[in-house]
Amino acid sequence: MARYRPEPPYTHGTPARTAVLLVNLGTPTAPTAAALRPYLKQFLSDPRVVEIPRALWWPILNGIILNTRPKKSAEKYASVWLPEGSPLKVHTEKQAKLLAGYLGQSGAHGVRVDWAMRYGSPSIPEALERLRAANCTRILVVPMYPQYAASTTASVMDEVARCLLGWRNLPEIRYVRSFHDDPGYIGALAQSVRDHWVRSGEGDKLVMSFHGVPRRSLDLGDPYHCECHKTARLVGEALGLPAERVLVTFQSRFGKAEWLKPYTQPTLEAMAAGGTQRVDVMCPGFVADCLETLEEIAMECRTAFIGAGGQQFEYIPCLNENDAWIDALCRITRAHLGNWLELPEPDPQALERSRQRARELGAQR
């Protein structure tokens, strides 16, 4: 059997294409325990996500977690599920379609835009096969994680590399490593806060909740913690807020190990108990609303804040299909596409005039 598969049956004269592949974390196919089990197994089997020796982790994962967590997680997913599917899937698909339109309007004609999930469906292998069949020989992979983390961004890079091992005709690959301090992304976040304040007024504090990672990752050199804080600082500055009105917290802990602190829900409870009446909460580490924002923050944390004595909890939605965000995403992708973008053929007469001018300048020296 051949080690490398034959290429798709397109003719050798088919023009090569350039593509952008947006990749988000993942989602089950349905809010049921049956659908959650394979999704969670794939997610929690990734050594980038759980850095515990397999011999220790495997019995815990298969013997305990996959027998208890799917049902609980399914109930949470059911509380936010949309008629079209999971919120993350719905928003990511819409973002891809909008980006394709924005790229076309910006002059980046012929760039194909596709999307995938690191875990679940549509998978990275499925998306890459679609691009392969379309003769996309230049692929820009955009992990939709603003802040780089080994457990997210690097895992996408790992999976892309693994998929390409069996290809005969390898494409050029570029990655967007992170965009935590991109001016367009920061501007879109700040504008989303202003728009929310116009509708609902300002809270006493603005809490920026980022997805947590084990504290050990920071100690080992992962830049995620630093990039989260830089994002928060830049958004606060863009809004003209004093430092004491902005808090950075981390959510979604898993297991008993110490994770990045302060933790979101305990912080909100302490704020309410300490007299904070109204709080605004946003999640800048997510570019699309999902289980972690809609259920964990907008539902669970709201209940915890009000239960601890707070009066008003305002969740500021993720960027989703926000025009300013899609424009920023277009600019980010264009910058990374660079010389892959098809440029118009130069005007022959204008080119000849340039050459003549160069000859004249050379003669004057």
Question: How high is the pLDDT of residue 356?
Answer: 62
Question: How high is the pLDDT of residue 357?
Answer: 60
* Residue 326 CB coordination number (10 Å): 21
Closest alpha carbon to 30 in 67, 66, 84, 69: 84
pLDDT digits 0-9 by tens, 191-218? 999 999 999 999 999 999 999 999 999 9
Question: How high is the pLDDT of residue 343?
Answer: 52
Question: How high is the pLDDT of residue 138?
Answer: 97
Closest alpha carbon to 169 in 339, 4, 340, 14: 4
User: What is the C-alpha to C-alpha distance for residues 91 and 329, in angstroms, rounded to an integer?
Assistant: 14
pTM above 0.75, yes or no: yes
Count of all residues that appear for the chain in the document: 365
Angle at 48 between CA 78 and CA 61, to 5 degrees: 55
Question: Which residues in the chain land under pLDDT 70?
Answer: 1-2, 10-13, 342-365
Question: How high is the pLDDT of residue 352?
Answer: 63
pLDDT digits 0-9 by tens, 139-159? 999 999 999 999 999 999 999
Question: How high is the pLDDT of residue 364?
Answer: 55
Question: How high is the pLDDT of residue 361?
Answer: 53
Q: Which domains does the chain have, with CATH numbers?
A: 17-179+322-340 (3.40.50.1400), 183-315 (3.40.50.1400)
Binding residues for Fe(2+): 211, 292
Question: How high is the pLDDT of residue 13?
Answer: 67
Question: How high is the pLDDT of residue 86?
Answer: 97
Binding residues: 211, 292
